[in-house]
Structure 1
Amino acid sequence: MDADLIAREVVEPGTPGLAALADEFGPEILLPDGKLDRAALAAKAFGDDAARGRLNGILHPLIGARTAALVEAAPADSVVLQDIPLLVEGRMGAMFNLVVVVHVDVAERVRRLVELRGMEESDARARIAAQATDEQRRAAADVWLDNSGSEDSLDPAVKALWDRLRTYSANIANSVVARGLPALVEADPEWADQGRRLVERLRFVCAADAVRVDHIGSTAVPGLAAKDVIDLQITVDSLDTADALADRLAQAGFPRVDAVTADDPKPAYGIGGEADPSLWDKRFHASADPGRPANVHIRVDGWPGQRFALSFRDWLRAEPGERADYLAIKRTAAESASGVSDAVAATERYLEVKTPWFDGAHSRVEKWIEDTGWTPDVG
């Protein structure tokens, strides 16, 4: 679905969209035959932030409504691709399962606009200057495709992306989650941005039903080697709320998993005064995206498991010695699981080795909380 084509459709002669533009920007944006003079409109709208805001205020609701109708009409087994030039500027990334940015260097963008579209260079540069920066686009991109080369140079990357999307779509339809073997990899600086995008996506899906959403676990600790799986925690007011979120999360690409084999530290019941094991209960979902495995833990606000997930992350960030100790036990656990080929069985083996370490870690975290006065940051 091409947002540019939809944008043209909603301002055809006789449409309310074109009438609204003429009222806002004047009849001089119309050609003699009544069609929109796009160059005249661009000259008025793209050199001024306020004018561009008025333009978007007219067009975006119309484009959104038409797009929603097309999505609703798509066959159930479709992979729906939406080409949205202003997705980053509109901060719409969280609405989608995956965001792909197709990048071209500024000089090449200008050349193509001038040579292929007949645009004046000054107009081309003004339009580019009004758009998101490359840094903003990188921050929004789950997938970055560099299209600065020849037409066929991008083919392998596009084919790989299509294979990922096709598998992702089938996984969502069949409630299948992406699993991998519990192998440790060196810390990836991209984990922070990947976690932030997933947090934003989950916040959008859960809306007011989430008290907070956080990136937790080892991938949230800078410099710590970990399994290449992003762990996230949705905090809710009750397990009933967690259950009510299940369908929404599944449709968004996070099916529920009943047999929990995630990396889920849980100290022995009774440590720290929590004698009721049900206070560690949660709901668990995982990502269906084969290109970005993720675990989603849903816990109740203030319960020991919810509190421990946040304090354990911050404790590791603050204590280099504890971080090194944790890494050592993780390496031992990964080595123990390395000979198991089945992902579920390997994860179970990994946890068998690692979980006992958390009994002592829990006590040390509680002592650290007492000494530092730690409280969760604003989620």
Structure 2
Amino acid sequence: MDLQSPPRLDRLEDLRALKVDPGRLYSATHEEILGGWTTDIYFLKTRDVLRAAGRLDVPVTAEIFARQEGVFAGLGEVLSLLDRKGTDLAVEALPEGESFASKEVLVRIRGTYEAFGLYETVLLGMLASSTGWATAARRCVEAAEGLPVICFGSRHVHPAVAPVMERAAVVGGCVDASCILGAKLLGKDPKGTIPHAAILLAGDTVELARVYDGLLPEGEPRTVLVDTFKDEAEEALRVAEALGDRLSAVRLDTPGERGGVTPDLVREVRYRLNLAGYGHVAVLVSGGLSPDRIRLLAEAGAAGFGVGSYITHATPRDMTMDLKEVDGKPVAKRGRLPGPLPNERLKRVR
């Protein structure tokens, strides 16, 4: 079977043609997602049942909400999928990046159930994950109180979703992303320095810093890790003396085995750089940061933060889709209110 053009699922019998190469990567391709391969099986069964009952093409109104508050993200992907599913769909939604309350209506879709019903699983998953990541990013950004936060989270998630995660983090307020594809999807250039591996291979931080400085294009900030071989304050001064005014920042990423990046460490590095006349060199920090640690490190003199695991380990916001109108008549399952619920913050997006 040609995995570049997987069959699109329309009926339960289509599963007979669905064959999977056991040696493939486990993540779904875009074609497989659009083809319905990643939906729950009961939505495919539903198409057969409603088709047989003559009700598959009935016009409906569906609403999506989350049980927990958060920062809304994932709408871009939802709209990209719906754009391929039917020209008659009308969509209202909360703008991405907006905070929302528990059970507030986030998305309203109007159209035939046939046009989007199969993709309920996919739409909810897109919103649930992205909203969770955006919410965690916003907490870090608020803790930083105006200092920049960059997302360094790609290594903590499956590569298939790393660009999605980093996009959501920027929606949540991160100024940049390190994942190449994630940044490019946002129209940005990816941001990052150099890893410890480069310094270990070079054998000396200053030697590597000089080579790095010579290779970077003019105008790109020179930021160098200073925790690989020597005391962080000593290494920061060595690099500053070598690069002078060309050095933009040093980054502290001290491992937990050495106590991690502490407020006292940041305070000392900042003090010694100032004392030596390198007040222009910022102190950036990374490594297991959380909003609480960001606050403490900012008070100690940190000027920017690279956050990974706190964002990527965020709890997704459980999303629910309810049908609220069928053929123009208000409906609801027990425990829910029939008919569309008012939310003046929704904007027409499709």
What TM-score do you get using the length of structure 2 for normalisation? 0.27
What TM-score do you get using the length of structure 1 for normalisation? 0.26
Q: Report the structure, 1 or 2, having the larger helix content.
A: 1
